Amino acid sequence: MRKLLKPKAKSSIPDKVIRKAVRTVKRERIKAKPKLVFKTESVHITDYISLEQFFLEVFNQDFNYFADQESDKGATITVNKPDRLSEGEIDTLVKFRATGELPTYSLRLLLEECCMRDLIPAGKYVVFGD
């Protein structure tokens, strides 16, 4: 066992009390549980059929998930609630409502439009394909 260094001036605290305090601190350090730092985030999960049906009800136009994503796999999209859409995005939505035509990879745009209209919350969306 290591010897405690003796101070030159005599302390009013007995050595026995100091040693006990040191052992207690060491024990508490060992007992301390590690803390994981994390943030909580919502993830919204849906399948492509529900998504297509939702867009049909909202925009009154058919939306083909697989044609839009050019894949039969799922997608993860982060949807923010923008203050406003750009002119190009607005033109795309107007054309979609009128003719049903939509450029590929427009899923995020449609979801953000729904978010701006308070139909869905902002967050991360996972869409399952086939």
| Residue 81 CB partners (closer than 8 Å, separation 6+) | 112, 115, 116, 122
Higher-confidence position of 46 and 7: 46
User: 88 near 6, Cβ under 8 Å?
Assistant: no
Alpha helix (H) residue ranges in the chain? 15-31, 48-59, 65-69, 87-99, 107-116
* pLDDT score of 30: 59
Q: Where are the domains of the chain?
A: 43-128
Q: Which range has the worst mean pLDDT, 6-20, 40-54, 81-95, 110-124?
A: 6-20
* pLDDT score of 39: 81
Whether 1 shows a pLDDT value over 60: the answer reads no
What's the rounded Cα separation, in Å, for the pair 51 and 55? 6
* pLDDT score of 16: 75
* pLDDT score of 113: 94
Q: What is the pLDDT of residues 25-80, one digit of tens each?
A: 666 665 666 788 888 877 999 999 999 999 999 999 999 998 888 877 888 999 99
Q: What is the pLDDT of residues 65-99, one digit of tens each?
A: 988 888 778 889 999 998 889 999 999 999 999 99
What's the rounded Cα separation, in Å, for the pair 89 and 108? 11
What's the rounded Cα separation, in Å, for the pair 41 and 91? 32
